[in-house]
Amino acid sequence: MELLQLQYFQTVAKLEHMSKAAEALNIAQPSLSKTISRLESSIGVPLFDRHGRNIRLNAFGKAFLQRVERIFRELEEGKREVLDMAGLNRGSITLAASITSVLPELLGDFLTANPNVHIRQFLEPTAEMRRMMENGEIDLCISTAPVEGPDMAWLPLRTEEIFVIVHERHRLAGQESVKLTDLKEEPFIGLRPGYWFRTLTDELCIGAGFVPKTMIELDEADAVVLLLRKGLGIAFVPQLAWEKRAAFMPNRLRIADPPGCVVTTGLVWSKKHYMSVAAQRFRQFIIDYFQRIESE
């Protein structure tokens, strides 16, 4: 069994189309067909169900694909580890963050100190972040969701109040605090379902006796700020996010009832996947950054 065969299998399995896979791999379709057949022969069972000219990954193929993907991930991690050992890896970090308000400062400061590091950032719903973390597709995750598991490390960074932000012409503008029940008829702007902060704030409202009317659902927390300024609704915002955008949303209300409307932001990483030296440095940088914020 060869890595080339596994690479070809992975492509055919993903596309479930021999010709398209051959095109993607830059080889002739018959060659690909033969390579897959040889792989199936060497394993001893078919990996695809053939119906006429259609091919579909079967149960054997699905199980095998998971292993193949793990092999390629292991190889990639091995490469990173060896490059780190040799001091040749300039560093790449893949980060998922469900809070974007601190990213400009966090990334800016880190990249100033580590200009050769390449960072990729994802913004994904909680379940997707968990999946990516388990698969080793991301190194670190700054999350308000308690992403826990036997192979996950979760370090709480900061617990903070949740504020309600209203437009300057809103009936509640100028008040210091509000009861959640006073907001049951209000139109909300929020993250779409699937994001933990949305789940948390929905649960707070349900606990107060109403289902929030979320009229606008978004993926981007920063887009919430823009719509708030247009007066299109009100929104829940964590304290730190408000502090970073206070000039754009001055009318913040404390939630007086129920008490204890807080959210905890934490740092998540996988204990089973290799973490590059650059990612380890960034992890410590994030921890230091939040400790600095806490002490200010």
Partner DNA sequence: TTGCTGTCCGGCTTATATCC
Partner DNA sequence: GGATATAAGCCGGACAGCAA
List residues binding DNA (CB under 7 A): 2, 4-5, 8, 17-19, 26-38, 48, 50, 52-55
Q: What does DSSP say about strands 187-191 and 213-218: parallel, antiparallel, or unpaired?
A: parallel
Task: DSSP letter for 182, please.
Answer: G
Closer residue to DNA in complex, CB, 61/125? 61
Nearer to DNA, 16 or 182 (CB): 16
Helix (H) or strand (E) holding 162: strand 152-165
Report the distance separating Cα 130 and Cα 144, nearest Å: 12
| 176 SS3 class | coil
Could you tell me the smallest distance in angstroms from the CB atom of residue 23 to DNA? 9
Q: Is 177 helix (H, G, I), strand (E, B) or coil?
A: strand
Residue 43 CB, nearest distance to DNA (Å)? 13
Residue with tokens 């199936």: 40
Between 50 and 131, CB nearer to DNA: 50
Smallest distance, Å, CB 32 to DNA?
7
CA 164, distance to chain mean position in Å, is 24
Smallest gap from Cβ 56 to DNA, in A, equals 10
Nearer to DNA, 17 or 73 (CB): 17
Closer to DNA by Cβ: residue 23 or 202: 23
Report d(CA 204, CA 236) in Å as an integer.
Answer: 11
Supply φ then ψ for residue 226, to 5 degrees.
-60, -40
Could you tell me the smallest distance in angstroms from the CB atom of residue 238 to DNA? 50
What distance in Å separates the CA atoms of residue 167 and residue 238, rounded to the nearest whole number? 17
